[in-house]
Structure 1
Amino acid sequence: MTTLAHISDIHLAPLPHISFKDLLGKRLTGFLNWKIMRRDTLSGEGLKALVDHMRDQNPDFTAVTGDLTNLALKAEVIRAGEWLKTVGPAQTVCVCPGNHDAYVPGALERAQHEWGPYLQGDSAHGSAFPFVRRLDDTAIISCSSAVPTRPFLATGRFDQEQAARLAKILTETGEAGLFRVVMIHHPPNPELQHPSFGLKGHKLFRRIIAEHGAELILHGHTHRSSIHSISGLEHEVPVIGVAAASAAQGSGLDDPARYNLFRIEKNGNGWTCTMREYGYQRLGTDIVMRLQMRIY
Structure 2
Amino acid sequence: MRIAHFSDLHILSLAGVLPHRFLNKRLSGYANLKLKRGHIHRPAYVRAIAREIARTSIDHVAITGDITNLALEPEFEAARALLQDALGLDPKNVSVVPGNHDLYTRGALRTRRFMRYFGPFVESDLPELAVDIGLGRFPFVRLRGPLAIVGLSSAVPRLPFVAAGRIGERQLDAFARVLAHPDVRSRTPVVLLHHPVQNPPSRLKTLLEGLEDADALTAHVQGFAHGLILHGHLHRRQQRHLETRAGKLHVVGATSASLHHDTHEKMASFNVYEFDDTGKLVEVESHILEPETETFRVTEVPHATWS
* TM-score, reference length from structure 1: 0.89
Partner of residue 149, structure 1: 158
Q: Given that residues 287 and 296 in structure 2 are in contact (C-alpha distance below 8 angstroms), is that contact kept between their aligned partners in structure 1? A: yes
**2:37 matches 1:43:** no
Partner of residue 95, structure 1: 96
The aligned amino acid for 2:159 is R
Partner of residue 104, structure 1: 105
List per-residue Cα deviations over 1:185-224 (Å, max 9, x = no partner).
Answer: 0001134762211111011111111245650000000000
**2:255 matches 1:256:** no
The aligned amino acid for 2:195 is H
- For the residues of structure 1 that align with 2:301 and 2:217, how far apart are their CA atoms? 28
Which one of the candidate residues 176, 185, 195 is aligned to 2:194?
185
Q: What SS is found at the alignment partner of 1:76?
A: helix
- The Cα shift of 1:271 comes to 2.1
Q: How does 1:157-236 map to 2 (within 5 A)?
A: 157-173=166-182, 176-191=185-200, 194-211=206-223, 215-236=227-248
Deviates more, 1:199-208 or 1:121-130: 121-130
Percentage identity across aligned positions? 29
- The Cα shift of 1:247 comes to 0.4
Q: How does 1:104-123 map to 2 (within 5 A)?
A: 104-108=105-109, 109-121=112-124, 122-123=126-127
Over aligned residues, Cα RMSD in angstroms?
2.4
- For the residues of structure 1 that align with 2:181 and 2:49, how far apart are their CA atoms? 35
- For the residues of structure 1 that align with 2:287 and 2:143, how far apart are their CA atoms? 25
Which structure 1 segments of 5+ residues have no match?
A: none
Q: Given that residues 7 and 64 in structure 2 are in contact (C-alpha distance below 8 angstroms), is that contact kept between their aligned partners in structure 1? A: yes
Q: Given that residues 44 and 248 in structure 1 are in contact (C-alpha distance below 8 angstroms), is that contact kept between their aligned partners in structure 2? A: no
Q: Given that residues 171 and 212 in structure 1 are in contact (C-alpha distance below 8 angstroms), is that contact kept between their aligned partners in structure 2? A: no
Q: How many residues align?
A: 289
Q: 1:213 to 1:166 in 2, by over 3 A?
A: farther
The aligned amino acid for 2:70 is L
- The Cα shift of 1:175 comes to 6.2
The aligned amino acid for 1:141 is V
Q: What SS is found at the alignment partner of 2:106?
A: coil
Deviates more, 1:92-101 or 1:72-81: 72-81
- For the residues of structure 1 that align with 2:101 and 2:222, how far apart are their CA atoms? 29
Q: 1:272 to 1:243 in 2, by over 3 A?
A: closer
Q: Given that residues 11 and 42 in structure 1 are in contact (C-alpha distance below 8 angstroms), is that contact kept between their aligned partners in structure 2? A: yes
The aligned amino acid for 1:131 is F
- For the residues of structure 1 that align with 2:130 and 2:281, how far apart are their CA atoms? 33
- For the residues of structure 1 that align with 2:301 and 2:22, how far apart are their CA atoms? 44
The aligned amino acid for 1:115 is F
List per-residue Cα deviations over 1:161-196 (Å, max 9, x = no partner).
Answer: 111111111122576421110001000113476221
Q: Given that residues 102 and 146 in structure 1 are in contact (C-alpha distance below 8 angstroms), is that contact kept between their aligned partners in structure 2? A: yes
Q: Given that residues 256 and 268 in structure 2 are in contact (C-alpha distance below 8 angstroms), is that contact kept between their aligned partners in structure 1? A: yes
Deviates more, 1:44-53 or 1:138-147: 44-53
Partner of residue 271, structure 1: 280
Partner of residue 80, structure 1: 79
- For the residues of structure 2 that align with 1:61 and 1:39, how far apart are their CA atoms? 30
- The Cα shift of 1:65 comes to 0.3
Q: Given that residues 232 and 255 in structure 2 are in contact (C-alpha distance below 8 angstroms), is that contact kept between their aligned partners in structure 1? A: yes
The aligned amino acid for 2:138 is F
The aligned amino acid for 1:189 is Q
Structure 1 segments, 4+ long, off by >6 Å, are none
